[in-house]
Amino acid sequence: MRGKTCLVTGATNGIGYETALGLARRGARVALVGRDAGKVQACAARIRAAVPGAAVDAHVADLSAQGEIRRLAGGLRDAYPRLDVLVNNAGAIFDRRTLTVDGIERTWALDHLGYVLLTLELLDTLQAAAAAGAKPRIVNVASAAHYRGHIDFDDIDGARRYGAMRAYAQAKLGNVLFTYALARRLRDSGITVNALHPGVINTGFARNTGGLFGTAWSLIRPFLTTPEKGAETSLHVAGAPELDGVTGRYFSQSRPKPSSAESRDEAVQERVWALSMAQLGRSG
* Residues labelled catalytic: 168
- The span from the CA of 259 to the CA of 37, in Å, is 35
Q: Are 206 and 169 in contact (CB under 8 A)?
A: no
State the angle between helix axes of 227-239 and 14-25 in degrees (0 to 180), rounded to the nearest 10.
50
Q: Which backbone phi and psi does 111 adopt, to 5 degrees?
A: -75, -25
Radius of gyration of the chain (CA): 17
DSSP codes, 208-269:
T--HHHHHHHHHHGGGSBPHHHHHHHHHHHHH-GGGTT--SEEEETTEE----TTTT-HHHH
Residue type, 15: I
